[in-house]
Chain A
Amino acid sequence: MTNFVQLQQVSLKYNEEESALALYRTSFGVASGEFIAVVGPSGCGKSTLMKVVTGLWPATAGQVMVADKPVTTPLNFVGMAFQNPSLLPWRTTLKNVMLPLEIVEPHASRLRSDREAYEAKARELLALVGLKGCEDKYPWQLSGGMQQRAQLCRALIHEPSLLMLDEPFGALDMFTREELWLALQDLWIARRPTVILVTHDLREAVFLADRVLVMSARPGRIILDCKIDMERPRRLERTYEPESVALVHELREHISAARAKAAA
């Protein structure tokens, strides 16, 4: 079986200078429905990886394949979420969540006639992440964690086959973050999209992902591909058990080594 996402020797340069090399001969694959996490020292090109996979930035060399097609222009079905919730302040939570439906086909052309069905779907999704009753509130009336939940819903409303998350929980306190891990896990189990999660938080990576990829310092390459063999759904206590702790330590060592190498 071929992978849903496949990177083959992908390099990316911002410009002609040598120091502008963000990715260098990066190769990895993600199976359909798989949840992977990408970790690495800061500035190693993790966010660049997101842009290359989604086609927002064309690769300088190598090939990116998504759904068996080479990526040359931006994809048109990917759900994305970032550290900054970036909800539209003039729209209610419900309208914010429904934004992708106005753009992605076939939903965009059906939205007018099937408005009620789509709205019910959005409400259901909001209820799933614990935002029942917030549908008609504006983003500034929600807390940071609630905005982040709404952003997740916006990324998922059109049931994308690929979900790209760039440190979506980075700005949240630990308790909210852990709550959202569970919410994300539930959503993933229910829908089974392919997920690529970029994160700084190794516990988060180990808790959520099927596989954790460690990137080297710039120019970024994958230096470790670590399979996390744990049952689903995982419970939060799991992250404090020796097996998880050992994995976090192992990943941490690899990253410090990569940082030391970059500094040398």
Chain B
Amino acid sequence: MSVAEIYDLPPVTRRKSFFERKAVRRALPWLVIIAMFVFWELLVRVFSIQEFILPAPSAIFQSLWQWREPIAINAWQTLMTTLIGFGLAIVIGGLGGIALGSSQVAYDGFYPALIAFNSVPKVAVVPVLVIWFGIGTIPAVITAFLLAFFPILVNVATGIATVEPELRDVLRALGASRKQVIMKVGLPRAMPYFFASLKIAMTVAFVGSIVAESIAANAGIGYLMLVASSRFEVPLAFACLIVTGLMGVAMYVVCVAIEQRTTGWATRGADGVAFGS
């Protein structure tokens, strides 16, 4: 077959299937969520499940609207608590990760202790924090921080410690100092690891602050949930859960957006990674 003949052939086209269409792809997560709520509502109605066991979504959203003001105030409290703990985790986890990743001695020395520390259930720490700082925001901030800093530290350390040996040799033979190797290669290289850990850290920071709030606080979503369930206001407790989930997703999306802007080089070619991990 000559070249001219090849160009005469009709171009290869294939109809995109339903799930390959872009609009469908975009709408899919929302469809899944809506379908889930519809299924839930039907389940409750068909089996006439009582409200204090499993409230229907309609009852939850009604309650959400009814208690919107206390929910908003307490959600704000939780959000701030979580963000402060998360911020501390970024600073201390990041710096610790740089220290451990760039020094084998620091790594060998501190890592076992950190593992041991991380294995301690943080719920068990809350009462101790209450003794030290009293009931209120500070134990919640510290719990959020304690849960969030470890994944950040481990990931940053890994990113820095795994610089290719050849690259390190290239730089050292040019007279680069240790600091220069970290600044030019280690840190940029650790960024994808850092952002991957932020997504985990953000979620567990919420866990930390809410757990602490439900044990020892007088404000916050965790506290509100505790009050709601003790008064058998189960729809309100569920409304709080939904708000928590929404805050988690919102912060996750912020993390991903920053990640996309700063480390797009690491996820090249993969489209639609906004919800990927």
Residues of A bordering B, CB below 8 Å: 51, 54-56, 74-82, 84, 86, 88-90, 99-100, 102-105, 138, 140, 154-155, 158, 164
B:164-189 near A, CB below 8 Å: 164, 166-167, 169-176, 180, 184-185, 188-189
| Interface residues as binary, B260-276 with A (CB distance below 8 Å gives 1, 0 otherwise) | 00010110100000000
Main DSSP-derived SS at the B contact region: helix
Do residues B184 and A54 form an inter-chain contact, with CB atoms below 8 A? no
| Interface residues as binary, B175-209 with A (CB distance below 8 Å gives 1, 0 otherwise) | 11000100011001101000000000000000000
Partner of B169, one of A76, A80, A88, A158: A80
Nearest Cβ distance between residue A93 and chain B, in whole angstroms? 13
Give A88 to B189 CA distance when docked, in angstroms. 8
Do residues B175 and A140 form an inter-chain contact, with CB atoms below 8 A? no
A76 partner residues in chain B, CB cutoff 8 A: 173-175
Give A56 to B173 CA distance when docked, in angstroms. 7
Do residues B166 and A84 form an inter-chain contact, with CB atoms below 8 A? yes
- Pair count A-B, CB < 8 A: 66
Do residues A84 and B266 form an inter-chain contact, with CB atoms below 8 A? no
Closest to A162 in B: B173
Do residues B180 and A78 form an inter-chain contact, with CB atoms below 8 A? no
A140 partner residues in chain B, CB cutoff 8 A: 268
Closest to A85 in B: B166
Do residues B173 and A74 form an inter-chain contact, with CB atoms below 8 A? yes
Nearest Cβ distance between residue B258 and chain A, in whole angstroms? 15
Do residues A75 and B173 form an inter-chain contact, with CB atoms below 8 A? yes
Closest to A74 in B: B172
Do residues B184 and A77 form an inter-chain contact, with CB atoms below 8 A? no
Pairs across A and B, CB under 8 Å, 30 listed: A54-B173, A56-B172, A74-B175, A76-B173, A76-B174, A77-B175, A78-B173, A82-B166, A82-B169, A82-B170, A84-B164, A84-B166, A86-B164, A88-B167, A88-B184, A88-B189, A89-B265, A89-B266, A90-B263, A90-B265, A99-B171, A99-B184, A102-B184, A104-B174, A104-B175, A105-B175, A138-B268, A154-B170, A158-B174, A164-B173
